[in-house]
């Protein structure tokens, strides 16, 4: 039986750490959360040779072991807790060749914990073009470790990295700096008090308040009480430690690193002058967004039509080939249409994640953060709020979690409260089907009407987030002051493997998580739609036949199914809420979809697909079923007025119980998620009501 080793992957943000992780693990990775907290945990498996496999944890990016956010605290929690099942046998610190000085601070801290530590110098393919050269033997000797020069773009150096990992036991665990030179008396007393503990580990436990969440870190007994000096004095010692480390690093890099500034290109500065220009920067960002939304509709139409017709045919096949009965009815009218209602949107969701991943990979997204900071300040937000707001286009849950990087509590709280206004990928299925139903085909100056409508919905959500933030800034009585700092990574061509893995993982997660909910709700809806109380349901066939004596069999069957649905349990529930939603232009079936989609917004389409499948035996696609739905007066149910009303309702409503749960966890109170739920729902109702009354 082979052996397994634990590897912790560490590094500053934008060093290419995730690229190294993707190269090593490929698709054998999974994403979850650390126990008890909402910090994302990425781990994967890599075969080092025929008998050894590595369990790799990609830790959140951190500049040092002096934690200032919950993400950074996770790194220290793991490195201090030897009892953790994920405690690393070896740590790999990934550095960027252009920022080696800053990156090495983290390396020296990790190595001083007594953990075998490898150094990876990434982006080696950039060295010649940037005029950079390194003396590897000298660096290895002075840093007392082994170094792998790696280029994830050109897939170079990874075999050497695997070989070094296999021989990790040969790595030195000697500290890089002598802590006694900071304050000899203090550290001698500390060592005397805890003679069996690593000195730097003791120092970290004392100086860091890393217990951001309820995690058992197995901290050194009584070490946190070892405060023979004041808080300010401990801070001063901590600063002296940082200075000592940089003195050590500077001395090494004077000899080990050479940068020919004259040969370095100034392409980055020229691009920055355009992309973060106070006028042209916004225009370029707007044009990029427009291109993205046009492409989402144009490119995905063919695979969507194929998926739509395939599921309709599959449902009909189940009805004709399987024996009649409850199971066949459940499969053909509940499960297949419900799953079809989410799978049809895989192309659009995949394209959305594709564009987001490319923008992040190229380094452009950091420019957007910097660019938007200028405007966000007047709304009470900082540039760091842009990260959650942009992340919200994928999903509000990780977007809310991303607010932990905002140190200022007022700005963080406001960002949490307004982030759900950002159009997430779960709203995309709702928008896509409604836009296809009510917005005509055609173009304006070459711009697709449907793509323009989708972009408008994204912009109106972002606009409402800003307005809400401004209102909250004026009403929340929380005194605060903050500063904005963002790092501008180098521009680079996106690594196709990274983009592919991101699209695959995000789309798969979206489909599997949504699929579980939709499958359960589809079954529940089918049961509620297939059974009902009283004679109106049980004797529906006789009642309808007597009402329509001279009618063809096919039309009679349709009317019987419609009558049964109306008098089923789900029909009774829908009719009960119809008076509340009819002023918005909705009927009782849409009301059922609104209620069920509180579990997840994307359930809306699957719910209607299930309801219409129960009602009709016709071999129709989801889109055709919805398009043929009519009101009592014979007019289409989905028209411009009701369609836009419904889209705006979903743009503003808090239709996601998972987001509410995350907000509760992040704010540690039910007060704020309840304010979100009722405030956003009321706003959505008023806007949808006004829109329908004006357009109808």
Question: What's the mean pLDDT in 69-83?
Answer: 78
In a domain, 14, yes or no: yes
Number of helices (H), then strands (E), in the chain = 31, 11
pTM here is: 0.61
Least-confidence region, from 10-14, 118-122, 134-138, 593-597: 593-597
In a domain, 654, yes or no: yes
User: The dihedral of CA 88, 216, 21, 271: what is its sign?
Assistant: negative
Number of domains, the chain: 3
Supply the pLDDT for residue 684.
93
Judged against a pLDDT cut of 80, whether residue 141 lies above it is answered with yes
| Residue 291 sits in the same domain as residue 257 | no
Judged against a pLDDT cut of 80, whether residue 297 lies above it is answered with no
Helix (H) or strand (E) holding 667: helix 657-667
The Cα–Cα gap between 435 and 607 comes to 18
Name the domain boundary from 264, 292, 327. 264
Domain that holds residue 457: 280-475
In a domain, 164, yes or no: yes
Supply the pLDDT for residue 616.
56
In this prediction, what percent of the chain has a pLDDT beyond 70? 83
Q: Find out whether 643 and 586 touch, Cβ atoms under 8 Å.
A: no
Among 216-225, 471-480, 680-689, top mean pLDDT goes to 680-689
Helix (H) or strand (E) holding 461: helix 449-475
Name the domain boundary from 235, 264, 293. 264
Q: Over the stretch 524-540, which tens digit does the pLDDT of each residue have? A: 777 887 888 888 888 87
| Residue 676 sits in the same domain as residue 539 | yes
Coil vs helix vs strand at 96: strand
Q: Over the stretch 674-683, which tens digit does the pLDDT of each residue have? A: 999 899 999 9
Judged against a pLDDT cut of 70, whether residue 591 lies above it is answered with yes
Q: Over the stretch 638-670, which tens digit does the pLDDT of each residue have? A: 889 999 999 999 999 886 776 777 788 778 788
Supply the pLDDT for residue 94.
93
The Cα–Cα gap between 572 and 70 comes to 48
What residues are paired with 95 via a beta bridge? 121
Coil vs helix vs strand at 692: helix
Judged against a pLDDT cut of 70, whether residue 85 lies above it is answered with yes
User: What pLDDT band is residue 212 in, cutting at 50, 70 and 90?
Assistant: very low
The Cα–Cα gap between 525 and 47 comes to 46
> Does 280 or 615 have the greater pLDDT score?
280
Name the domain boundary from 231, 264, 297. 264
What is the gyration radius of the CA atoms in the chain, in angstroms? 29
Supply the pLDDT for residue 120.
93
> What's the DSSP call for residue 13?
T
Q: Over the stretch 312-322, which tens digit does the pLDDT of each residue have? A: 788 888 888 88
Supply the pLDDT for residue 618.
44
The Cα–Cα gap between 100 and 94 comes to 10
Least-confidence region, from 90-94, 176-180, 256-260: 256-260
- Label each residue of 102-143 as H, E or C: HHHHHHHHHHCCCCCEEEEEECHHHHHHHCEEECHHHHHHHH
**Mean pLDDT for the chain overall:** 79
Judged against a pLDDT cut of 90, whether residue 274 lies above it is answered with no
In a domain, 117, yes or no: yes
Q: Over the stretch 459-500, which tens digit does the pLDDT of each residue have? A: 899 899 989 999 988 888 776 555 555 666 777 788 888 888
The Cα–Cα gap between 212 and 71 comes to 9
Phi, psi of 548 (to 5 degrees): -130, 85
Q: Over the stretch 175-202, which tens digit does the pLDDT of each residue have? A: 898 888 888 888 888 888 878 778 888 8
| Residue 434 sits in the same domain as residue 324 | yes
The Cα–Cα gap between 276 and 282 comes to 8
| Residue 259 sits in the same domain as residue 286 | no
In a domain, 105, yes or no: yes
The Cα–Cα gap between 60 and 77 comes to 12
The Cα–Cα gap between 576 and 138 comes to 78
> Does 695 or 448 have the greater pLDDT score?
695
Q: Find out whether 563 and 570 touch, Cβ atoms under 8 Å.
A: no
Encoded tokens for 555:
């039309």
Least-confidence region, from 146-155, 324-333, 393-402: 393-402
The Cα–Cα gap between 176 and 110 comes to 10
User: What pLDDT band is residue 584 in, cutting at 50, 70 and 90?
Assistant: very high
Judged against a pLDDT cut of 50, whether residue 221 lies above it is answered with no
User: What pLDDT band is residue 90 in, cutting at 50, 70 and 90?
Assistant: very high
In a domain, 212, yes or no: yes
Supply the pLDDT for residue 271.
83
| Residue 260 sits in the same domain as residue 289 | no
Q: Please report which residue ranges of 180-335 form alpha helices under DSSP H.
A: 184-193, 199-207, 231-256, 267-275, 280-321, 326-330
* CATH number of the CATH domain containing 139: 3.40.50.300
Judged against a pLDDT cut of 50, whether residue 294 lies above it is answered with yes
| Residue 334 sits in the same domain as residue 423 | yes
| Residue 254 sits in the same domain as residue 310 | no
Q: Find out whether 19 and 498 touch, Cβ atoms under 8 Å.
A: yes
User: What pLDDT band is residue 42 in, cutting at 50, 70 and 90?
Assistant: confident
| Residue 429 sits in the same domain as residue 520 | no
The Cα–Cα gap between 598 and 115 comes to 47
Q: What does the DSSP assignment read for 499-548?
A: HHHHHHHHHHHHHHHHHHHHHHHHHHHHHHHH--SHHHHHTHHHHHHHH-
Least-confidence region, from 75-84, 229-238, 466-475: 229-238
| Residue 5 sits in the same domain as residue 120 | yes
User: The dihedral of CA 176, 182, 184, 189: what is its sign?
Assistant: negative
Q: Which of 661, 663, 655 is nearest to 417 (CA)?
A: 663
Among 34-38, 297-301, 499-503, top mean pLDDT goes to 499-503
Give me the half-sphere count of Cα atoms (radius 13 Å) on the Cβ side of residue 286.
8
Neighbours of 189 (CB within 10 A): 12
Q: Which of 427, 457, 452 is nearest to 644 (CA)?
A: 457
The Cα–Cα gap between 524 and 599 comes to 13
The Cα–Cα gap between 370 and 665 comes to 29
In a domain, 531, yes or no: yes
Supply the pLDDT for residue 34.
40
Judged against a pLDDT cut of 50, whether residue 220 lies above it is answered with no
Supply the pLDDT for residue 610.
67
Encoded tokens for 419:
């982030």
Coil vs helix vs strand at 478: coil
Least-confidence region, from 431-445, 554-568, 659-673: 554-568
User: 443 Cβ partners below 8 Å, 6+ apart?
Assistant: 449
C-alpha distance across the termini of the chain, in Å? 71
Among 80-84, 114-118, 482-486, 613-617, top mean pLDDT goes to 114-118
Q: How distant, in Å, are the alpha carbons of 125, 290, 306, 490 from that of 272?
A: 22, 21, 42, 10
Least-confidence region, from 73-77, 138-142, 581-585, 654-658: 654-658
Q: Over the stretch 4-25, which tens digit does the pLDDT of each residue have? A: 899 999 998 878 888 888 888 8
Task: Compute the CA torsion angle 120, 126, 131, 136 (nearest 10 deg).
Answer: 20
Encoded tokens for 96:
């960027």
In this prediction, what percent of the chain has a pLDDT beyond 90? 15
Residue 51 CB burial class (10 angstroms; 0-12, 13-18, ≥19): exposed
Question: What's the mean pLDDT in 91-101?
Answer: 89
Supply the pLDDT for residue 108.
93
Supply the pLDDT for residue 483.
53
Q: How distant, in Å, are the alpha carbons of 164, 368, 439, 590 from that of 594?
A: 56, 34, 21, 6
Q: How distant, in Å, are the alpha carbons of 79, 316, 570 from that of 328?
A: 54, 11, 20
Coil vs helix vs strand at 281: helix
| Residue 567 sits in the same domain as residue 663 | yes
| Residue 259 sits in the same domain as residue 285 | no
| Residue 421 sits in the same domain as residue 293 | yes
Encoded tokens for 641:
């007025």
Coil vs helix vs strand at 177: coil
User: The dihedral of CA 47, 48, 49, 54: what is its sign?
Assistant: negative
Supply the pLDDT for residue 130.
75
User: 583 Cβ partners below 8 Å, 6+ apart?
Assistant: 689, 692, 693
Q: Over the stretch 559-580, which tens digit does the pLDDT of each residue have? A: 777 777 778 887 888 888 889 9
In a domain, 480, yes or no: no
> What's the DSSP call for residue 585?
T
Q: Which of 300, 275, 443 is nearest to 365 (CA)?
A: 275
Supply the pLDDT for residue 482.
55
User: What pLDDT band is residue 514 in, cutting at 50, 70 and 90?
Assistant: low
Q: How distant, in Å, are the alpha carbons of 95, 134, 142, 252, 336 from that of 255?
A: 18, 9, 10, 6, 67
Supply the pLDDT for residue 31.
57
């Amino acid at each position: 039986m082979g052996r397994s080793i634990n590897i912790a992957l560490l590094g500053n943000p934008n060093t290419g750490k995730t690229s190294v992780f993707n190269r090593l693990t490929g698709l054998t990775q999974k994403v979850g959360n650390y126990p008890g907290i909402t910090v994302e945990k990425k781990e994967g498996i890599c075969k080092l040779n025929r008998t050894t496999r590595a369990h790799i944890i990609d830790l959140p990016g951190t500049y040092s072991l002096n934690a200032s956010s919950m993400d950074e605290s996770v790194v220290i929690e793991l490195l201090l807790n030897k009892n953790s099942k994920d405690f690393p046998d070896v740590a790999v610190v990934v550095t960027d060749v252009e920022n080696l000085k800053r990156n090495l601070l983290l390396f020296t801290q990790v190595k001083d914990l007594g953990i075998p530590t490898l150094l990876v110098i990434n982006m080696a393919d950039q060295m010649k073009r940037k005029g950079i050269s390194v003396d590897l033997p000298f660096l290895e000797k002075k840093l007392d470790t082994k170094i792998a020069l790696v280029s994830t773009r050109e897939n170079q150096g990874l075999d050497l990295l695997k070989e070094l990992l296999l021989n990790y036991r040969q790595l030195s665990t000697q500290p890089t700096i002598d802590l006694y030179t900071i304050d000899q008396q203090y550290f001698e007393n500390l060592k005397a008090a805890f003679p069996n503990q690593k000195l730097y580990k003791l120092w970290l436990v004392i100086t860091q308040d890393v217990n951001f969440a309820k995690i058992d870190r197995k901290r050194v007994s009584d070490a946190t009480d070892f405060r023979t000096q004041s808080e300010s004095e401990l801070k001063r010692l901590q600063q002296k430690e940082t200075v000592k480390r940089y003195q050590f690093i500077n001395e090494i890099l004077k000899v080990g690193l050479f940068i020919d500034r004259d040969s370095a290109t100034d392409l980055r500065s020229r691009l920055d002058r355009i992309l973060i220009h106070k006028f042209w920067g916004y225009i370029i960002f707007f044009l990029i967004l427009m291109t993205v939304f046009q492409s989402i509709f144009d490119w995905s139409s063919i695979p969507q039509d194929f998926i739509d017709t395939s599921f309709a045919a599959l449902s009909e096949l189940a009805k004709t080939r399987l024996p009649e009965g409850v199971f066949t009815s459940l499969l053909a009218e509940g499960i297949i249409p419900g799953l079809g209602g989410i799978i049809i949107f895989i192309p659009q969701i995949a394209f959305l994640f594709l564009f987001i991943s490319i923008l992040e990979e190229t380094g452009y997204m950091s420019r957007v953060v910097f660019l938007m900071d200028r405007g966000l300040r007047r709304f009470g937000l900082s540039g760091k709020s842009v990260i959650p707001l942009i992340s919200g286009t994928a999903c509000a849950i990780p977007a809310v979690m991303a607010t932990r990087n905002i140190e200022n509590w007022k700005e963080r709280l406001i960002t949490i409260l307004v982030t759900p206004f950002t159009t997430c990928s779960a709203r995309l299925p709702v928008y896509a089907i409604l836009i296809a139903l009510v917005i005509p085909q055609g173009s304006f100056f070459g711009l697709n009407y449907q793509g323009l409508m989708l972009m408008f919905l994204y912009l109106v959500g972002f606009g409402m987030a800003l307005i809400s933030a401004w209102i909250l800034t004026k009403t929340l009585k929380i005194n605060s002051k903050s500063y904005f700092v963002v790092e501008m990574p180098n521009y680079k061509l996106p690594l196709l493997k990274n983009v592919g893995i991101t699209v695959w993982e995000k789309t798969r997660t979206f489909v599997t998580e949504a699929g579980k909910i939709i499958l359960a709700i589809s079954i529940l809806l089918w049961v509620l739609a297939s059974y009902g109380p009283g004679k109106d349901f049980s004797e529906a066939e006789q009642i309808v036949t007597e009402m329509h004596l001279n009618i063809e069999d096919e039309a009679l069957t349709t009317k019987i199914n419609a009558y049964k649905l109306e008098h089923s349990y789900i029909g009774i529930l829908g009719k009960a809420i119809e008076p509340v939603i009819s002023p918005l232009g909705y009927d009782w079936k849409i009301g059922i979809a609104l209620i069920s989609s509180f579990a997840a917004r994307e359930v809306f389409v699957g719910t209607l697909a299930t309801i219409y499948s129960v009602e009709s035996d016709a071999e129709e696609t989801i889109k055709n079923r919805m398009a043929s739905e009519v009101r009592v007066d014979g007019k289409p149910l989905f028209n411009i007025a009701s369609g836009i009303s419904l889209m705006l309702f979903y743009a503003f409503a808090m239709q996601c119980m998972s987001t509410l749960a995350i907000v509760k966890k992040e704010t540690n109170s039910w007060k704020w998620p309840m304010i979100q739920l009722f405030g956003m729902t009321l706003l959505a109702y008023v806007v949808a009501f006004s829109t329908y009354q004006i357009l109808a």
